[in-house]
Amino acid sequence: MSDDKRTDSGIPVNALYTEADLAGWNAAEKLGTPGQPPYTRGVYPTMYRGKLWTMRQYAGFGTAESTNERFKFLLAAGQTGLSCAFDLPTQMGYDSDHPRAEGEVGKVGVAIDSMADMRLLLKDLPLDKVTTSMTINSTAAILLLMYELVAEEQGVASSAISGTIQNDLLKEYIARGTYVYPPRPSMRIITDIFDYCAKNVPKWNTISISGYHIREAGSTAVQEIAFTIANGIAYVEAAIAAGLDVDDFAPRLSFFWNAHNNFFEEVAKFRASRRIWFRIMSERFGAKKEASKLLRFHTQTGGSTLTAQQPENNIVRVAVQSMAAVMGGTQSLHTNGFDEALSLPTERAARIALRTQQIIGYESGIADTPDPLAGSYFVETLTDEIERLALEYIAKIDEMGGAVAAIEAGYQMDEIEQAAYEYTKSIDDDERVIVGLNKFSVNDDPEPEVFPINPELERGQKKRLGEYKANRDRARVESTLATLADAARGTQNLLYPIKDALRADATLGEISDALRGVFGLYQP
């Protein structure tokens, strides 16, 4: 085995780190204290001593009823926040009865076509007490408004609900692909959401600027935070250009990071990202509120690191990644089920994933003091180097005219593709060991239990949608959709006419079609 050691981002790792590696290093400038600029050590003074991070397990499959049951199962098991996945038709703005939805209804998340579905999804949940994260982007405005309207029907004021919509379209063009409209209309919808929530849903995190999917597409840790923070810069610039004051919307911005297996690089990545964002918000945008300068983030363990071979090994991977996220100061955490390389997580896998967080939180002692690795020669050197390399990428994107222009030029996609190729080649060449895959494999792996998909699900969802459409005032629906299309041609905030359309029982697909008719579809 070669003595040349590097992190997953290719940063050389010395055989030994000593005090000399931090010669001339200014601890006050680089670190501060937890809860104080530059927030390297965490955004809150005591971090987890008084309250653990939010344990937010991802759920969403099949029908609204079945997902509601999983939510209640997880809450009963001790989960402290909900996180909802939506199926591909919902993500792409198609109703379940659309020809393009065939074969995909309820497959990778829950199908939500209408207000009736959202009522079932949220039935008997304490919306004034639980925070809900929704992994939704192109149709984020519609799902947020559905959530708000159901809360109102349950007697919960808009000012009392809290949660997060992902709402990060730029990373869809870079890495994930569930885009609908071209980048510039998408940026308009995003800034409309910022404005609407500041006035109507003040406790809602209006965007989760996501590096997770960039990493899943094959980026390095450095690229993950660099490209994501560059996207964050673009969102702030777009909101300011739309007339919003930075301190009115920036406190509700949040980030979403991946956690992989290279433990110390991951810890350093989280720490570096906070310091970079603080300086950008302070120096580039002149934010005055401290809340505007805080990089608060959710973490999910790395889906792309899970193996279908010997899937129980994934329990250990998830534990290592979760410890890195907590050591790095995450605000909330999702731990993947060990069987997710094979299917949606079974209840057994979901419970083990949640118990992993609980054991770390209650038994390990890691949560007893903020940023316990601060001052480590290795971790501080690595944090500085990740910051330096990420800022180089951000400067390059600035030179190209910002994240949107760089996306249109294919820059980030090309960089990720090269990183993904090099990573895969290192596995194929046995330079990188993946336990159970290219080393320590077995031939007698038992057949794992996988989550069952009911073929009747799609038929039932279409039937319910047909009944919903038949029992409404069609003229009122058409009128509100026409008003929405007119608004899209103009400059007004789109969330108000979308809300009117939902009140008239328009479906998610119909609202998306009205916007598609004006904005068109994005073609890479």
Nearest alpha carbon to residue 436 among 320, 353, 314: 314
Taking CA atoms, 450 is separated from 67, 303, 308, 468, in Å, by 17, 16, 11, 33
Spatial separation of the C-alpha atoms in residues 222 and 276, rounded to whole Å:
12
Provide the token pair at 186: 């998408």
Chain segment 42-94, per-residue pLDDT in tens: 999 999 998 999 998 777 778 999 999 989 988 888 887 888 999 999 999 99
Q: How many other C-beta atoms lie within 10 A of the C-beta of residue 469?
A: 18
Chain segment 9-33, per-residue pLDDT in tens: 999 999 999 999 998 899 889 999 9
Nearest alpha carbon to residue 375 among 37, 17, 72: 17
What dihedral angle (degrees, nearest 10) is formed by the CA atoms of 178, 69, 97, 169? Answer: -20
Provide the token pair at 70: 């999983």
Spatial separation of the C-alpha atoms in residues 524 and 522, rounded to whole Å:
6
The mean of the pLDDT values for the chain is 94
- The band of 2, judged by pLDDT with boundaries at 50, 70 and 90, is low
Residue with tokens 């349950």: 154
Residue with tokens 């104080």: 36
b/e per residue, 444-468, with b = 16+ CB within 10 A?
eeeebeebeeeeebbebbbebbeeb
Mean pLDDT over 474-497 rounds to 98
Mean pLDDT over 388-411 rounds to 96
Query: What is the predicted pLDDT for the residue at 10?
Result: 95
Provide the token pair at 247: 């301190």
Query: What is the predicted pLDDT for the residue at 1?
Result: 47
Sheet bearing 81-85, strands edge to edge? 204-205, 163-165, 132-135, 81-85, 54-59, 332-334, 297-301, 253-259, 207-210
Residue 36 has pLDDT above 50, yes or no: yes
Chain segment 216-235, per-residue pLDDT in tens: 999 999 999 999 999 999 99
Spatial separation of the C-alpha atoms in residues 508 and 409, rounded to whole Å:
31
- The band of 450, judged by pLDDT with boundaries at 50, 70 and 90, is confident
**Contact call for residues 359 and 335 (beta carbons, < 8 A):** no
Domains of the chain: 49-371+386-428 (3.20.20.240)
Q: How many other C-beta atoms lie within 10 A of the C-beta of residue 285?
A: 17
Residue with tokens 């070669």: 2
**Bridge partners of residue 35, in order along the sequence:** none
Spatial separation of the C-alpha atoms in residues 524 and 520, rounded to whole Å:
13
